């Protein structure tokens, strides 16, 4: 080894003959010290790099972001008691049996799958309540260390059982924030009546302010016009001066409002700078739930991303943790059918998902971290259509994961 220090003028890695969205022809992507240092027409004029990844005309994209997932629950479906069909009760029963090591193992397995699918940043909602205690949090902190070479993981302390309904959650949330959770979560839906739901939202913000952390809150999870917390969260965000620091997920009630109410709420969400994460599996998950109004929100300038939420757990038996799975479902379910639709769906798991959790905008950019995915197909539309397909995930310029469902050999770095 020692190639990089001996020959500093040579890039760490050259991705040869790839395609970058929005650029004509094939390009070579140079990577040094974990950063993209150049993108130039292929073949590169510069001296060949010692290590080469042959993209062979495949798409080179920035890696994906998973903005809403519950890894503490991953692969726990087998623990569900037979005959219990209420998702909330089922998930509660399952988590009562969690141990720290069990959560750490299952979460690690899920995050490795996400890496294989091209994810290098993930926001994890972890149950912190009287049933789970801090077990899920400790398991998740351990899992985060195990996958630190694969991705950045943000942890949201999530009171799944409520705050009014579960008064013991308050102290646990605060302890979770002291122990390493970076955000406070919420789920007003679980409370009994609108007043209790508003009190839940206010309390989440109180905790956020006390700990100087951002908010990531589940709102309006059912497709029902009586779900009105999205507008209240927007108002509370403005009142607290928390613009740009709040992510709201699901937001299904908006879909059922009449046009005047919907326009008013969308304007309030835009003014408050709320970031929205829709959950496309809502369409499949026993309903009645929907996809919010992503097009109207985007038209108002709101950041809208798509998250996985659940996989093989008490809430949802299936799931793939594949960003392109979410993008494809959003593409169909949200009615994106114009020329830009593939890009809109792609960005909901790429640039917009990143911005939603505090990351950067844009695709492959010089000077940015070389967190990339190399496909064996030339463009986004083909990658979406041929999902899951063959992928190679790079994290800070290193190949960390790959998947191959084509039967052909996985891509390998050739050289030192
Ligand atoms: Zn969720």
pLDDT for res 289: 67
Higher pLDDT among residues 16 and 340, named by residue: 16
How many Cβ atoms sit within 10 Å of the Cβ of residue 414?
Answer: 11
Mean pLDDT of 31-39: 94
In a domain, 362, yes or no: no
Report how far ligand 1's centroid is from the alpha carbon of 371 (Å). 25
Contact indicator for 390, 408 with CB cutoff of 8 Å: yes
Closest CA to 398 of 120, 122, 167: 120
Mean pLDDT of 191-198: 96
Determine the number of helices (DSSP H) and then strands (DSSP E) in the chain.
13, 16
Mean pLDDT of 71-81: 93
Residue 106, burial from CB neighbour count under 10 angstroms (0-12, 13-18, 19+): buried
In a domain, 319, yes or no: yes
Report how far ligand 1's centroid is from the alpha carbon of 70 (Å). 6
Q: Please determine, for residue 307, whether its predicted confidence score (pLDDT) is greater than 60.
A: yes
Q: Please determine, for residue 2, whether its predicted confidence score (pLDDT) is greater than 50.
A: no
Contact indicator for 277, 356 with CB cutoff of 8 Å: yes
CATH number at residue 12: 2.30.40.10
Percent of the chain residues past pLDDT 90, beyond the cut: 79
pLDDT for res 364: 98
pLDDT for res 405: 74
For 227-244, give the DSSP string: --HHHHHHHHHHHTT-TT
Report how far ligand 1's centroid is from the alpha carbon of 15 (Å). 36
Mean pLDDT of 62-82: 95
Mean pLDDT of 132-152: 98
Would you place residue 340 in the very low, low, confident or very high pLDDT band (cuts 50, 70, 90)?
confident
pLDDT for res 281: 82
Q: Please determine, for residue 267, whether its predicted confidence score (pLDDT) is greater than 50.
A: yes
Report how far ligand 1's centroid is from the alpha carbon of 218 (Å). 6
Query: Long-range CB contacts (< 8 A, 24+ apart) of 99-103?
Result: 99/135, 99/139, 100/135, 100/138, 100/139, 100/142, 101/139, 101/142, 102/139, 103/72, 103/135, 103/136, 103/138, 103/139, 103/140, 103/142, 103/143
Spatial separation of the C-alpha atoms in residues 413 and 117, rounded to whole Å: 18
Mean pLDDT of 259-272: 98
Q: Are residues 13 and 128 in the same domain?
A: no
CATH number at residue 73: 3.20.20.140
Q: Are residues 71 and 198 in the same domain?
A: yes
Tokens of 304: 């809208």
Q: Please determine, for residue 9, whether its predicted confidence score (pLDDT) is greater than 60.
A: no
Report how far ligand 1's centroid is from the alpha carbon of 277 (Å). 10
Higher pLDDT among residues 223 and 36, named by residue: 36
Report how far ligand 1's centroid is from the alpha carbon of 316 (Å). 11
Report how far ligand 1's centroid is from the alpha carbon of 255 (Å). 18
Strands (E), 152-193: 152-158, 183-186
Q: Please determine, for residue 327, whether its predicted confidence score (pLDDT) is greater than 80.
A: yes
In a domain, 89, yes or no: yes
Report how far ligand 1's centroid is from the alpha carbon of 25 (Å). 41
Report how far ligand 1's centroid is from the alpha carbon of 212 (Å). 22
Mean pLDDT of 257-261: 96
Higher pLDDT among residues 1 and 402, named by residue: 402
Report how far ligand 1's centroid is from the alpha carbon of 221 (Å). 9
Q: Are residues 93 and 55 in the same domain?
A: no
Would you place residue 45 in the very low, low, confident or very high pLDDT band (cuts 50, 70, 90)?
confident
Overall size of the chain counted in residues: 416
Mean pLDDT of 115-124: 98
In a domain, 365, yes or no: no
Percent of the chain residues past pLDDT 70, beyond the cut: 93
Q: Are residues 194 and 316 in the same domain?
A: yes
pLDDT for res 404: 84
In a domain, 19, yes or no: yes
Report how far ligand 1's centroid is from the alpha carbon of 276 (Å). 12
Q: Are residues 300 and 404 in the same domain?
A: no
Q: Are residues 329 and 404 in the same domain?
A: no
Report how far ligand 1's centroid is from the alpha carbon of 189 (Å). 12
pLDDT for res 224: 85
Domain that holds residue 17: 4-62+371-415
Report how far ligand 1's centroid is from the alpha carbon of 310 (Å). 7
The gap from C-alpha 175 to its chain's centroid, in whole angstroms, comes to 25
In a domain, 178, yes or no: yes
Q: Are residues 193 and 334 in the same domain?
A: yes
Question: Which of the given ranges, 4-8, 11-15, 163-167, 334-338, has the highest pLDDT on average?
Answer: 163-167
In a domain, 409, yes or no: yes
Q: Are residues 10 and 111 in the same domain?
A: no
Q: Are residues 209 and 335 in the same domain?
A: yes
Spatial separation of the C-alpha atoms in residues 197 and 222, rounded to whole Å: 14
Query: Helix, strand, coil % (nearest 5) of the chain?
Result: 35, 20, 40
pLDDT for res 3: 32
pLDDT for res 81: 87
pLDDT for res 47: 62
pLDDT digits (tens, 9 = 90+) for 359-400: 999 999 999 999 999 999 999 999 999 888 899 999 999 999
Closest CA to 232 of 215, 213, 210: 215
Q: Please determine, for residue 293, whether its predicted confidence score (pLDDT) is greater than 90.
A: yes
- Phi, psi values for residue 70, rounded to 5°: -115, 80
Spatial separation of the C-alpha atoms in residues 108 and 124, rounded to whole Å: 12
Report how far ligand 1's centroid is from the alpha carbon of 80 (Å). 18
Q: Please determine, for residue 34, whether its predicted confidence score (pLDDT) is greater than 90.
A: yes
Query: What's the pTM?
Result: 0.94
Report how far ligand 1's centroid is from the alpha carbon of 309 (Å). 5
Report how far ligand 1's centroid is from the alpha carbon of 186 (Å). 10
Helix (H, G, I), strand (E, B) or coil at 48: coil
Residue with tokens 């027409």: 41
Domain count, the chain: 2
pLDDT for res 409: 58
Report how far ligand 1's centroid is from the alpha carbon of 402 (Å). 27
Would you place residue 86 in the very low, low, confident or very high pLDDT band (cuts 50, 70, 90)?
confident
Spatial separation of the C-alpha atoms in residues 51 and 11, rounded to whole Å: 8
Closest CA to 368 of 36, 93, 24, 104: 36
In a domain, 163, yes or no: yes
Q: Please determine, for residue 183, whether its predicted confidence score (pLDDT) is greater than 60.
A: yes
Mean pLDDT of 147-154: 98
């Amino acid at each position: 080894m020692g190639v990089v220090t001996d020959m500093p003028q040579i890039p760490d890695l050259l991705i040869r003959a790839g395609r970058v969205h929005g650029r004509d022809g094939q390009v070579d992507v140079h990577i040094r010290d974990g950063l993209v240092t150049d993108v130039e027409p292929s073949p590169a004029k510069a001296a060949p790099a010692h290590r080469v990844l042959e993209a062979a005309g495949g798409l080179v994209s920035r890696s994906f972001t998973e903005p809403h997932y519950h890894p503490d629950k991953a692969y726990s479906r087998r623990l569900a008691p037979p005959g219990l069909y209420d998702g909330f009760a089922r998930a509660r029963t399952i988590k009562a049996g969690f141990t720290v090591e069990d959560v750490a193992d299952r979460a690690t397995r899920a995050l490795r799958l996400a890496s294989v699918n091209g994810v290098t940043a993930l926001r994890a909602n972890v149950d912190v309540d009287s049933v789970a205690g801090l077990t899920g949090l400790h398991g998740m902190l351990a899992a985060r260390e195990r996958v630190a070479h694969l991705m950045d993981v943000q942890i949201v302390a999530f009171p799944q059982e409520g705050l009014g309904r579960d008064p013991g959650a308050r102290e646990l949330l605060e302890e979770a924030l002291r122990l390493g959770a970076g955000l406070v979560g919420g789920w007003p839906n679980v409370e009994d009546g609108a007043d209790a739901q508003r009190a839940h939202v206010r309390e989440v913000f109180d905790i956020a302010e006390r700990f100087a952390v951002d908010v990531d809150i589940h709102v309006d999870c059912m497709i029902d016009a009586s779900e009105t917390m999205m507008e209240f969260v927007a108002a509370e965000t403005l009142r607290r001066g928390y613009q740009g620091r709040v992510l709201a997920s699901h937001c299904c009630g908006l879909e059922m409002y009449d046009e005047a109410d919907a326009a008013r709420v969308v304007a309030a969400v835009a003014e408050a700078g709320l970031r929205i994460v829709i959950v496309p599996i809502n369409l499949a998950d026993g309903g009645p739930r929907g996809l919010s109004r992503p097009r109207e929100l985007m038209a108002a300038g709101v950041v809208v991303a798509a998250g996985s939420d659940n996989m093989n757990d008490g809430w949802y038996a299936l799931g793939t943790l594949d960003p392109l799975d979410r993008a494809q479902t959003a593409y169909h379910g949200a009615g994106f059918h114009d020329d830009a639709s593939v890009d809109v769906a792609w960005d909901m798991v790429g640039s917009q998902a990143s911005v939603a959790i505090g990351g950067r905008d844009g695709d492959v950019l010089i000077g940015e971290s070389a967190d990339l995915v190399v496909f064996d197909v030339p463009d986004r539309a083909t990658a979406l259509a041929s999902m899951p397909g063959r992928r190679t995930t790079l994290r800070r310029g290193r190949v960390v994961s790959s998947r191959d469902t084509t039967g052909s050999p996985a891509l390998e770095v050739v050289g030192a």
